[in-house]
Chains A and B, each alone.
Chain A
Amino acid sequence: MSKPRRLSSGGSRIDRSSRVSFTFDGKLMSGYRGDTLAAAVMANGQRLFGRSYKYHRPRGVIGLGSEEMNALVGVGTGARHEPNARATQVELFEGLAAVSQNRFPSLSFDVGAINNTLSRLFPGGFYYKTFMWPKVFWKHIYEPVIRKAAGLGVAPEGRDPDSYEQIHVHADVVVVGGGVAGLAAAEAAAVMGARVIIADENAVLGGISDLEDGTIDGAPQAEWARAAAQKLYDAENVHVLTRATVVGHWHHNYVMIAERVGDHDPAIPKSGAPRHRLWKVRAKQVILATGALERPIAFANNDRPGIMLATAVRAMVQRYGVAPGEQGVVFTNNDDAYLTALALKEAGIAVQVVDSRARADGALPERARAAGIAISTGSVISAVKGKLGVEAVKIASYRKGQGRVVSERSAPCDFIAVSGGFNPAAHLWCHNGGKLTFDEGLQSYRPGSHADAIVAVGAAKGTMALADIMAEARAAGEAAAKVALPKAKAAKLAKLAISEDARKPLEAIWFAPATGKYNEGNKHFVDFQHDVTVADLELAQREGYESIEHTKRYTTFGMATDQGKVGNLNGLGAIAEATGKTIPEVGFTTFRPPYTPTSFGAITGSLTKKLFLPVRQTPVFDWHMMKGAVFEPVGQWRRPYTYPRDGEDKHVSIAREILNVRNNVGVLDASTLGKIEVKGPDAGAFLDRIYTNMMSTLKPGRCRYGLTLNELGFIMDDGVVVRFDDERFLVHTTSGGADRIAAWLEEWLQTEWTDYRVFVTPVTEQWAQFAVAGPRARDVIAALKPSFDVSHEALPHMSFVEGTLGALPVRVYRISFSGELSYEIATPANHGRALWDALLQAGAPHGILPYGTEALHVLRAEKGYIVVGDETDGTTTPDDVGLSGLVSKKKADFIGKRSLEQAHLKAPNRKQLVGLYTENPEEVLPDGAHAVAEVKDKPPMKTIGHVTSSYLSPTLGRSIAMALIENGRARMGDVLSFPLDGKVVRATVVDPVFYDKEGARLNV
């Protein structure tokens, strides 16, 4: 068997003066600048690129570019390894290291290939049939084995060292595809002044103009394309993107383009540029010029290495100067593939044509005949000899629809160029609901109607003649610019003189009859990537998978990275023939984004590591960091959970912080607390409707705790309301509820109570706010030269004063969440660090220590104060948590009032907040532990409630817990059982206020 080789001349894309060395499967190879990996490996004499997914059959290059479904390779090493790259798209660079995939232990000898011999055991739907029983095997046996055997490529090792980014761009017109149609459309739109983005997935614009025969203005069309591309590069209003795949189209012409900025040159990402960039483009108009994808023909063993699409063979010869072999057969049902025969002949490679049509008398076949190329019409390839490559074929006589071989003859050959026609690349057309219509001439689907401002032109629309393509593309470009820019003036472009050999119609062939028994060693592949054959599709029909979508899932045909590019229509054709339906009756499957696989890096962009999630920092965040605080997330804030000292265990530091508040004084960064200023003549009335209790009666300079309910009567948020003066209030919310409550207030004002003259302004971030709590708190404030009287008489519990501490402006709220003498002191945020430092310094003689959120939580639990979200869960009413006293009976209305009257919210047996003392004082119940009516050997047991908060209280020297228990307030003194893993914890129901029930410590 001969090998592919580099021809002594030719190759429009390669620079023969610039050698590039690279490795494939560790083997050192050499190519030229401009080569693709596919071309370079073949130029080094190798056809084999990988093993197939299911049967592990040897596979080589089949396609031209992104539609390649066989030659998927891993590129790069270690953390920079990328699996499943298409060898036809990988551009060669010095030092490139690529590996084949899905082979074990080596490419030319693969033990998995036994699957091929045993293929009768692996029919369509094999996975569904075989790995059903027993269920326990699913996760630990079947899946790992299947994954190992069937996987495509391996993941990179370690963290991706490269950077990625995204950009939002707005354009008048986005042209998808830089072939002649795209170039013409872009030019027509651009000359009218539209801002145009033209994106092409290849490195070079021009599409396949260099592989086609038509001329424009007397020159090869590729020359026109080169000049047109240059004009677009030069234009001020055009942005040209190459190596940029439009991967998806969504509503309102939102287009996503994945640009491979640095894959072709490792120096680019190393310089600090992103490796990939995702463009999120909002386009007024989209023009699809995505061209058409050549389809293969389903003949026996049509997957052997050396069997390629006709355009791909042409590209090998003309672009890269690579001969796929010494002796080729072109197998076609159309005229276009004759260009490949002519190209091979011109390169000095022996070639003959097998044409399934009865007659081949178009201009191109005639040219081939004149060039002395043998043509067998009414013929198909019925067998391929060779496993790792092609050694010979059998050519059988054929009439359309014929299923068996009547007569055949052998012909030597070492490669095959196959063409079954062209399918418009309408994938993007379908992403956002575009309709397809079946074109009898093409024997394929092409774009029909679409609701978005999008049009398809050229081969993407099924328009195949060059003159028609150019006229259509220019008209579309002009029309798009006119719609995008209603005032734009039409600009006349010079008329083009186009000539091209006319093509005669193709004749559909969905199945070529084979030598010997069908499907016994004669696989007619439809989807090469997933090893789906015509026989698999027929079997699915026999088994009742009538819907094409069901057949797709059952057989895996057209799925995953391929998204129905190469094999799709052949599958539909095969099913149509098997069922006696027409292709439109069979339908088609859904094309989904992305058009080609897109890196996770591009999808994530720059939002990784510390940019993944915004962390909100208080004005003293740096201090917390410096002191080694352990943080916990509260909304997007990070709050110090505790400040361990000198290797302290967290439990130790938390207990220390708690006792220091109870015995001396502590300071807490409460800046995250939500703060909203509410002002207006109707502010009091407004807050009366927002809170369950009365706020309009609050006196200026005083504070009041309040609950807010949602319309369902359930507790939504809580906090202290402060009245500054007649019209001005400050509403405190929970840290996590600040934005929600501000929006809630605005919503009621803007949509329901529009007659209220009230403004609300969120000011959370304006203030740094610190709680100074403990018996020595007053001493600390007093040491800071307050401009106000801090005595209990002048500033009693639940009062407010504004003034200065030294030079710092402050608002002081005497409120407490710990049950101790406590002040919350607010100062403008930029003074926050100064106030914090001053408090620590002034408090040092009094033993001040910072405390974190866990100490805060234990302190409040000791006092029986609820935390919204712990003691409430969105179905909890004020009465449930023992706060019915905060629900005004006098007010005409407030949000949630009506709902609180519902029978089920007043029903007996609602869960009520209680305290719990475990029998063993050391035992801390887990949060969420359930109390049961009766302990049984195993679940289910009827639950009567659950623990909402549970701590070891250093103040009380024992564990405490809060719980919501059915009818809990009537169970005081009862002992409840909490079954846990392997034990039952018993606890007595007690009052939830564990410490200082009289509040004596507050009023000092």
Chain B
Amino acid sequence: MSDILSTPHFETALARRAAPAGLGFAVREMTDRGMIDLRGLASDRKFMTAVKGVLGTDLPKAPRSAVAWGDIKVLWLSPDQWLVLCPRARAVALAAELTAALAGIHSQVTNVSDMRTVLRLEGANLRTTLAKGTSTDLHAAEVKPGFVKRLKFAEVGALINIVEDQIFELYVFRSQADYVWDFLIAIGGSAAELHLFGKQSPA
């Protein structure tokens, strides 16, 4: 028990899962991600200035976009909601800094680092493979690095962020991480891999 009480033991949702062989992409859980849910009014100059003072970057105002600055990244969630990403170790302090800077300004800062599971997917054919789980058109022109969207994935709510052309991050609620993991394995087998459009050979 002394051990339990002296170090803050930490176990993410998928700590006991490993990706099987034969997947058409790589997948791993990003356990080092700190997440802060930030609410405020983009129209409130004081709010925007105070946030920039802490984060070093303006909040993205364009729907479905993201900005990055140093080890911080901010995902647009809605006109008055953002998800601030930072190293997990920094989340508590950063949330406190934001809260302090926003004192007296209508806003809400909530550390939600444990609320979601982040799955990092890497592969050349992700847009097509993930289309087995979502009706969002991942081949659309706007789906480029920086793109953020909340969507229905398989049977649950999720958030997708295009990190690089072949690296996507899928955010799902922690309680559903196991379900999404199983779904990715079910649709992701190389044998079921599908290449959309492009040159084909007649069957």
List the interface of chain A (C-beta within 8 A of B): 163, 165-170, 195, 203, 205, 229-230, 233-240, 242-243, 271-274, 277, 280, 282, 605-607, 610-611, 613-619, 621-622, 637, 677, 679-681, 757, 759, 761, 763, 765-767, 784-785, 805-809, 828-834, 837-838, 841-842
Contact = CB atoms under 8 A, between A and B. Distances in A.
A239 B202 CA distance: 11
16 contacts: A167-B131, A168-B132, A272-B22, A274-B192, A611-B155, A611-B179, A621-B178, A759-B107, A761-B110, A765-B116, A806-B4, A808-B5, A808-B8, A828-B113, A830-B113, A830-B114
B186 A785 contact: no
Sort chain B's interface into a size bin: 35 or more
B174 interface: yes
Given A233-B199, A761-B110, A766-B114, A272 B6 contact: no
A165 B187 contact: yes
A246 B107 CA distance: 51
Nearest to A828: B114
Given A167-B194, A239-B197, A610-B182, A766 B115 contact: yes
A611 B182 contact: yes
B200 A763 contact: no
Interface string B131-146: 1101111011000000
Contacts of A167: 128, 131-132, 194
B102 to A, nearest CB: 11
A763 B178 CA distance: 19
B52 interface: no
Contact of A613 (B4, B22, B140, B155): B155
Given A606-B132, A761-B37, A763-B110, A239 B200 contact: yes
B134 A168 contact: yes
A326 B37 CA distance: 80
A583 to B, nearest CB: 40
A766 B175 contact: no
Contacts of B183: 606, 611
A170 B8 contact: no
A207 B108 CA distance: 62
Given A168-B131, A240-B200, A842-B1, 18 more contacts: A165-B192, A169-B131, A170-B139, A170-B140, A233-B201, A234-B199, A234-B200, A236-B199, A240-B202, A607-B155, A611-B179, A619-B174, A759-B80, A765-B174, A808-B9, A828-B111, A829-B115, A838-B5
Contacts of A829: 13, 114-115, 174
A238 B197 contact: yes
A203 B202 CA distance: 10
Interface in B124-179: 128, 131-132, 134-137, 139-140, 154-156, 173-179
Contact of A807 (B8, B134, B178): B8
Contacts of A242: 202-203
A169 B196 contact: yes
B107 A229 contact: no
A838 B4 contact: yes
Interface in B1-48: 1, 4-13, 16, 22, 37, 39-40
Contact of B135 (A230, A280, A767): A280
Contacts of A767: 114
B158 to A, nearest CB: 11
A235 B173 CA distance: 40
B87 interface: no
Contacts of A830: 10-12, 113-114
A229 B7 CA distance: 66
B106 interface: yes
A679 B22 CA distance: 47
B60 interface: no
A421 to B, nearest CB: 33
Given A614-B179, A766-B114, A834-B4, A166 B135 contact: no
Contacts of B198: 236
A766 B199 CA distance: 46
A165 B174 CA distance: 25
B123 interface: no
B50 interface: no
Contact of B175 (A205, A280, A618, A681): A618
A611 B184 CA distance: 10
Contacts of B194: 167, 277
Contacts of B186: 163, 165, 606, 611
